[in-house]
């Protein structure tokens, strides 16, 4: 018998399956470890960053679980199965519609939120889209002098405005078809970055829009600034006498504990509830790799009748449109 006879195909195939199963099991362990680290979001800003990728964890867990089941490693499939269930439980509430319902005759208001990117000079796509959509109110993050000039093309549609342009990513503006009764530019305590508080009236009913753009949490101090600004905004929203819409790139996903702190403190709810995952950033990645950080939060007086993501406008963010009725 020749000892140099190559092994049969079956042992080679079994070896490949075994190696594949080991890699899948290792990946499952890493995935679970990352998920556990994200539960320490309040302990360290880097752990908080891990909370934002629930959809990506769900996709990875589903693929790993399926692979291990196909390889008949059922016990090893338990770990990715647990991750799958945890992430599914976190994402599912975005698909549960809010119970708030307004009368058919209630006044309607529409709002667009857009982080246009202060480095983005492609103004025509956004201007053309606004001409088509014509929402009642437009909140712009990263407003620069260049975008101030661009928005002059819509002066007849949006004659009312409060703007605070800057050369960095923290300029902000509110444009409106509805007259602005009162407005205040609010500087964040530590960073000085501006937010806008604007009072509107429609069909005899007043409501307030808070437009904001907190600091990206890329570093311990930056994360503290963002969290403090969100806390301050929560206090401001809670103190408003009447309906409130808080709109802005919060640099925070719905799964961060600081996002839940804001909702609780401001007595607002996520306007995306019932409309699913609306992944707005970053546009350079395909949709499954994006995260939702552009938010429209509303008080109980509002019914959100529709919310959707807009087209690519040259920015790293996609714009958001929300349609509401005021009880």
**Is a pLDDT exceeding 60 seen at residue 4?**
no
CATH class of 99-326: alpha beta
Can you tell me the distance from the alpha carbon of 100 to that of 305, in angstroms, rounded to the nearest whole number?
10
**Is a pLDDT exceeding 80 seen at residue 183?**
yes
Can you tell me the distance from the alpha carbon of 200 to that of 209, in angstroms, rounded to the nearest whole number?
8
**Is a pLDDT exceeding 90 seen at residue 278?**
yes
| pLDDT at position 305 | 95
| pLDDT at position 147 | 97
Could you tell me the two tokens for 284?
């350079």
| pLDDT at position 6 | 53
pTM to 2 decimals?
0.92
**Inter-axis angle of helices 9-38 and 78-91, nearest 10:** 40
Residue bearing tokens 């009880």? 327
Q: Which secondary-structure segment (H or E) carries 30?
A: helix 9-38
| pLDDT at position 10 | 66
Q: Measure Cα distances from 262 to 235, 246, 266, 289 in Å.
A: 9, 10, 6, 25
Query: Is the separation of the CB atoms in 269 and 298 below 8 Å?
Result: yes
Which tens digits make up the pLDDT trace of 36-85? 999 999 999 999 999 999 999 999 999 999 999 999 999 999 999 999 99
C-alpha dihedral over 293, 299, 300, 305, to 10 degrees? -50
Helix (H, G, I), strand (E, B) or coil at 276: coil
Which tens digits make up the pLDDT trace of 83-97? 999 999 999 999 998
Nearest Cα residue to 90 out of 295, 262, 319, 260:
260
Can you tell me the distance from the alpha carbon of 51 to that of 291, in angstroms, rounded to the nearest whole number?
10
Can you tell me the distance from the alpha carbon of 318 to that of 311, in angstroms, rounded to the nearest whole number?
6
Helix (H, G, I), strand (E, B) or coil at 166: coil
Q: For the CA atoms of the chain, what is the radius of gyration?
A: 24
| pLDDT at position 298 | 97
| pLDDT at position 203 | 92
The mean pLDDT value for 176-199 works out to: 95
Helix (H, G, I), strand (E, B) or coil at 29: helix
| pLDDT at position 1 | 45
**Is a pLDDT exceeding 90 seen at residue 8?**
no
By the 10 Å C-beta count (0-12 exposed, 13-18 middle, 19+ buried), 327 is classed as middle
Query: Is the separation of the CB atoms in 88 and 58 below 8 Å?
Result: yes
- Of 13-17, 191-195, 225-229, the poorest mean pLDDT is in 13-17
| pLDDT at position 18 | 85
**ω before 282 within 30° of 0 (cis)?**
yes
């Amino acid at each position: 018998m020749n000892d140099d006879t190559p092994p049969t195909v079956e042992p080679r195939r079994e070896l490949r399956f075994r190696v594949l199963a080991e890699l899948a099991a290792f990946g499952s362990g890493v995935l679970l470890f990352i998920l556990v680290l994200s539960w320490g979001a309040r302990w360290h800003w880097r752990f908080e960053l891990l909370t934002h990728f629930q959809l990506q964890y769900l996709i990875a867990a589903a693929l790993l679980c399926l692979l291990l089941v196909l390889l008949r490693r059922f016990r090893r499939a338990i770990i990715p199965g647990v991750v799958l269930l945890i992430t599914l439980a976190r994402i599912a509430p975005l698909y549960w519609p809010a119970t708030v319902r307004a009368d058919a005759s209630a006044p309607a208001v529409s709002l667009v939120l857009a982080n246009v990117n202060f480095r983005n000079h492609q103004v025509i796509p956004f201007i053309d889209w606004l001409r088509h959509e014509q929402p009642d109110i437009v909140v712009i993050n990263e407003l620069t002098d260049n975008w101030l000039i661009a928005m002059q093309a819509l002066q007849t549609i949006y004659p009312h405005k409060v703007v605070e342009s800057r050369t960095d990513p923290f300029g902000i503006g509110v444009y409106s078809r509805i007259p602005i009764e009162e407005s205040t530019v609010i500087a964040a305590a530590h960073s000085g970055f501006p937010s806008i508080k604007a009072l509107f009236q429609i069909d005899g009913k007043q409501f307030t829009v808070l437009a904001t753009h907190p600091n990206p949490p890329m570093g311990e101090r930056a994360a503290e600034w963002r969290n403090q600004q969100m806390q301050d905004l929560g206090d401001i929203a809670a103190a408003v006498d009447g309906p409130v819409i808080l709109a802005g790139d919060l640099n925070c996903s719905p799964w961060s504990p600081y996002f839940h702190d804001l909702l609780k403190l401001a007595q607002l709810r996520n306007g995306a509830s019932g409309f699913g995952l609306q992944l707005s950033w970053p546009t350079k990645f395909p949709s499954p790799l994006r995260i939702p950080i552009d938010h429209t939060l509303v008080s109980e007086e509002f019914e959100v009748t529709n919310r959707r993501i807009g087209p690519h406008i040259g920015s790293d963010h996609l714009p958001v449109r929300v349609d509401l009725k005021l009880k």
